[in-house]
Chains A and B, each alone.
Chain A
């Protein structure tokens, strides 16, 4: 019988190996905060300059994937859906096998890609992505959850590489004070960036897209990935 633990050189199946592959960006956050809208906005704004793939983690069926496909922001074939068996956080944190499989299938099929977005199913404030699945992550809140949410913290709010606070257009209607949200977020995030958006008013989410572009460029530079093609097909 084969010795257990035999040394075997196989980088292909080492998901953490960053060389020559796309940046993997997680987008997480509570239900209804605008994760899918942000994913669509990023596809819309970055789709002409970057080679993209998207993996959605729907709570039910393929609702989010279907929304993205209908939105016409990306070749439908480049959008893969993963089912999570009532456990959206398990699929992005504790057992990432199905998501890794989906990400690598997209890269094999359409690669090389510059950016693969993994959108989590709507979850709670403790949900974060495993570093084995994504390289960077965005946590999306919205103002209608109440302006005290950033103060409550939780791993998503405190550790995400970027915190996006969406639906600023609703702030006045729900009595949310954006100054308070901004101040509280800064206090718990140790200098990491926070961006306010209203994707309904600004469907391109350009501030977030700029932040993501910067990441992708730095990633390609650092890991020897060929430089993003400015006119790659969407």
Chain B
């Protein structure tokens, strides 16, 4: 395992994550989360849906970010050594298309906005910590902010992590953010909440492995050395929906009192 993964998954990484609850604030407001068992159910549901999707997107972004061409603006700029996107488009095109896949999997506008905000802040911070043309190209390709899993995956690649590790970090942050928010909002025992997170560890690994396997099946990166056409597109990545999370996000953005951005 790459030690940089620990930095990337740490809630102390100064990338604005502390302001997001991943729907937990609204769930607390309507009473859907009110104690440890209801928090556990929320986290399990979030991990199996949004967690899996975000982990797969992060893995795909990590594979793309690890491709030499990912930092180039024009085809051929990256010397073609590992050209694996196989589309003949530019790196900018690839990032925009992967971002479109994230958009298509995020039906709530409030969630899209929150994801882009977090992605923008993560890139802003990470470009100073791990400077790289890959991150510059991604930031330039999506000036409003790349979706969070794209930023996370690209940063993971630049920091030397594998797509499987990027998927694990994405799945981890998908549950730790809401868990911490619930501690702050409900005054739950933080030790008990961490026990709950520890219980989720095997599920986290399973989800991350599933996500990375689905990424590998798309064959988007590390395809043939000649950059031949990919076997399957990113559209085949997991697209599990969570209508309840979508509704929570949409109600949250309209709430009178909000402590969290999302």
Where the two chains meet, the residues of A that have a C-beta atom closer than 8 Å to any C-beta of B are 1-2, 4-8, 10, 13-14, 59-61, 82-87, 90-91, 94-98, 100-101
Partner of B181, one of A60, A85, A95: A85
List A contacts of B133 (CB < 8 A): 2, 6, 8
Q: Is the CB of A101 within 8 A of B120?
A: yes
Task: Check A86 against B184 for contact (C-beta < 8 Å).
Answer: yes
Q: Does B168 contact A (CB under 8 A)?
A: no
- Given A1-B66, A4-B159, residue A86 in contact with residue B259 (CB < 8 A): yes
Chain B contacts with A in 9-46, Cβ cutoff 8 A? 12-21
Once bound together, how far apart are the Cα atoms of A100 and B257, in whole Å?
Answer: 23
- Contacts from B to A (Cβ < 8 Å): 12-21, 66, 68, 70-71, 82, 117, 120-122, 124-125, 127-128, 130-134, 136, 157-160, 181, 184-185, 255-261
In this complex, the member of B17, B18, B66 whose beta carbon has the largest number of chain A beta carbons within 10 angstroms is: B18
Q: How far is the CA of A19 from the CA of B153 in the complex (A)?
A: 33
- Distance in Å: Cβ of B110 to nearest Cβ of chain A: 13
Give 26 CB contacts A-B under 8 Å. A2-B71, A2-B133, A4-B158, A4-B159, A5-B131, A8-B136, A10-B136, A13-B124, A13-B127, A14-B128, A61-B258, A83-B258, A83-B260, A84-B18, A84-B259, A85-B19, A85-B181, A85-B259, A86-B181, A86-B184, A87-B18, A90-B18, A98-B16, A98-B121, A98-B261, A101-B120
Q: CB distance B14 to A95 under 8 Å?
A: yes
Docked-complex contact B257 and A4, CB < 8 angstroms = no
> A4-B132, A95-B16 known; A85 and B257 CB under 8 Å?
no
Q: What residues of A have a CB within 8 angstroms of the CB of B158 in the complex?
A: 2, 4
Known: A8-B133, A60-B258. Contact between A1 and B157, CB under 8 A? yes
Bound CA–CA A13/B181 (angstroms): 29
Q: Which residues of A contact B125 (CB under 8 A)?
A: 97
The residue on B at minimum CB distance from A100 is B124
A109 to B134, CA, bound (A): 26
Question: Which residues of the other chain, A, contact B256 by a CB distance below 8 angstroms?
Answer: 61
Q: Which residues of A contact B71 (CB under 8 A)?
A: 2
Are A7 and B184 in contact, CB atoms less than 8 angstroms apart? no
Please state if A97 and B14 are interface contacts (CB–CB under 8 Å).
yes
Residues in A whose Cβ lies below 8 Å from that of B18: 84-85, 87, 90-91, 95
Chain B residue, CB-CB nearest to A57: B19
A5 to B160, CA, bound (A): 11
Residue of A nearest to B17 (CB): A95
Q: How far is the CA of A4 from the CA of B158 in the complex (A)?
A: 6
Verify A2–B259 contact, CB threshold 8 A.
no
Q: Residue A86 contacts which of B12, B122, B157, B185 (CB distance < 8 angstroms)? A: B185
Query: A residues within 8 A CB of B122?
Result: 97
For the complex, what is the distance from the CA of A13 to the CA of B117, rounded to whole Å? Answer: 16
Q: How far is the CA of A61 from the CA of B29 in the complex (A)?
A: 14
Q: Is the CB of B259 within 8 A of A59?
A: yes
A7 near B131 with CB under 8 A, answer yes
Q: How far is the CB of A13 from chain B (nearest CB, A)?
A: 6
Contact assessment for B131 and A10 in the assembled complex, using a CB-CB cutoff below 8 Å = yes
Instruction: Chain A residues near B160: list those with CB within 8 A.
Output: 1, 4
Which single member of A4, A5, A7, A91 contacts B19 (CB below 8 Å)?
Answer: A91
B259 proximity list for chain A (CB < 8 A): 59-60, 83-86
A199 to chain B, nearest CB (A): 26
Q: Are B20 and A85 in contact (CB under 8 A)?
A: yes
